[in-house]
Amino acid sequence: MKSRIKSYSMKFICSILFMALGILPSTVIAQEAEASTKSMWNTDPLMGSVLVLVALVMVLVLITMVVMINLAKLMLTEAEKAKAQAEGREYVEPIGILEGIWLKMKRTFITGKLYSEKEERESMMLDHNYDGIQEMDYGMPPWLTYFFLITVGFGVIYMLNIYAFGIIPSQENEYIAEVAMAEAAIEEWRAGQANLVDENSVEFSEEKAHLDAGMAIFMKDCKVCHGEFGQGGVGPNFTDEYWIHGGGIKDIFKTIKYGVPEKGMISWQNQLTPADMSAVASYIYIMQGTTPPAADSKGVPVVLKEPQGEIFAREGEAETATPEESMEVEAAAPEEVTETEETTEAEEEV
């Protein structure tokens, strides 16, 4: 009885300490919150006194409830002990609700049934006896049994899914899907990179999709001035080797981007994206050396515009020359041939 009262006294003291620890932080927080204002005792002493009194009453009520609950438990315990002694049986300390739940879960999922009775333990003994050490035939722990059953069930479900239903994709299908996603991401990245091109980084591309896009833009925006086949009109001829502003892919891109305002060609950098300008520049680039038909689709004769600018050397061609210089060279060529033939004939006569 004395030990029981001592135990409950210690619990009572601990309860008081915990309540005090709970009240102190709230007091500190309240003091910090009102640090910039005047104290309640200075502004309204009566209200401060009432609040303190209410707090003390609440603490006393809590203490009284704790003491009454502990005394009731003590009286019930002593009554149960007296009843057990009168009936001649041993008193068993009751197990708390949480402790009972834990023991049940432990026996069900972790340890399994523990054989405490001697007869039950002897029934589990095997015939093996090594130097006085006997072996008990315990089964697998419940957690291991459940884990094994879960793995078997997972294996069955996995096989049915892969070879029968196909609800969850297989590794091969996942790989194919991921490759498709990666290719789409690459195409998206390339599309973004195409719009970062400028006159310094543009490069000629022979890809069909690239040239088709350039042709569509040319037919829509450039055909009016340069002709359907690049034969020239208001603008220069693209099929010959003469270029006014350079015939390299960078030169063509630059001309499209900034235009030639003094000759009536507008700047297209506000109407076309860098990718579009790159595509139409590649399409114009491959027009050099082509031969337009005699008439277009409507039967209108196709007239090639006279050369303008200078010969632009591509792929290691020689120096550039104006159309006039080129014509002079062609005119002078027959005379040189005639002089060479006369020299040859004179040598033969000698």
CA distance 316 to 325: 20
My answer on whether 18 and 118 are in the same domain is no
- Same domain for 102 and 80, yes or no, is no
CA distance 74 to 4: 7
Same domain, 322 and 213: yes
If one counts every other C-beta atom within 10 angstroms of the C-beta of residue 323, the result is 15
Is residue 25 in some structural domain?
yes
- 317 occurs within a structural domain: yes
pTM for this model (two decimals): 0.41
Distance CA 277, CA 254 (A): 9
> What does the alpha-carbon distance between residue 175 and residue 232 come to, in Å, rounded to a whole number?
53
Q: Tell me the pLDDT band of 12, cut-offs 50, 70 and 90.
A: low
Verify that 76 and 105 share a domain, yes or no: no
Helix (H) or strand (E) holding 315: none
Q: What is the DSSP string of 32-101?
A: HHTTTS--HHHH-HHHHHHHHHHHHHHHHHHHHHHHHHHHHHHHHHHHHHHHHHHHT----PPPPHHHHH
| Count of CB atoms situated within 10 Å of the CB of 157 | 13
Please indicate, yes or no, if residue 54 is contained in any of the structural domains. Answer: yes
CB atoms within 10 A of CB 112: 17
Length of the chain: 350
Based on the domain organization, do 315 and 245 belong to the same domain? yes
Q: Are 225 and 257 in contact (CB under 8 A)?
A: no
Q: pLDDT band at residue 221, thresholds of 50, 70 and 90?
A: very high
**pLDDT tens digits along 62-87:** 898 888 887 887 787 788 888 878 88
Domain count, the chain: 3
In 3D space, the residue among 231, 181, 191 whose CA is nearest the CA of residue 213 turns out to be: 191
Amino acid at 174: E
Cβ(206)–Cβ(281) below 8 Å: no
CA distances (Å), origin 273, targets 92, 197, 246, 250, 268 = 88, 10, 22, 16, 9
What are 301-324's pLDDT values in tens digits? 888 999 998 988 876 444 434 444
Which among 4, 9, 2 has a CA at the least distance from the CA of 76? 4
According to the model, what pLDDT value does residue 50 have? 83
Same domain, residue pair 115 and 15: no
Q: How confident is the model at residue 180 (pLDDT cuts 50, 70, 90)?
A: very high
Whether residue 116 has pLDDT greater than 80: no
pLDDT of 115 reads 56
Give mean pLDDT, residues 171-196.
Answer: 85
Whether residue 30 is contained in a domain is answered as yes
Sign of the Cα pseudo-torsion (293, 295, 301, 302, in order): negative
Percent of the chain with pLDDT over 90: 27
| Mean pLDDT within 87-115 | 74
State both tokens at 321: 């020359």
- Average pLDDT of the segment spanning 272-296: 91
pLDDT at residue 15 tops 90: no
287: which 2 tokens? 């027009």
- Which residues fall within 8 angstroms of residue 171, CB to CB, at 6 or more apart? none
Whether 228 is in a domain gets the answer: yes
The answer to whether residue 179 sits within a structural domain is no
Task: For residue 296, give the CATH number of its domain.
Answer: 1.10.760.10
Is the domain of 327 the same as that of 221? Answer: yes
74 and 112 share one domain: no
Residue of 288, 279, 293, 294 lying closest to 307 (CA atoms) = 288
Res. 327: pLDDT tops 50: no
- pLDDT tens sequence across 144-162: 888 999 999 999 998 888 8
Residue 23 shares a structural domain with residue 82? yes
pLDDT tens track for 222-266: 999 999 999 998 899 999 999 999 999 999 999 999 999 998 899
- Binned at pLDDT 50, 70 and 90, residue 7 comes out as low
Say yes or no to pLDDT of 284 above 80.
Answer: yes
Percent of all residues in the chain with a pLDDT value above 70, rounded to a whole number: 71
Whether 184 maps to a domain, the answer reads no
Full domain range(s) for residue 256: 208-333
Residues 63 and 124 in one domain: no
228 and 302 in a common domain: yes
- Return mean pLDDT, the chain: 76
Please identify which residue in the block is written with the tokens 């009286």: 75
Residues 104 and 57 in one domain: no
Answer yes or no: is 235 within a domain: yes
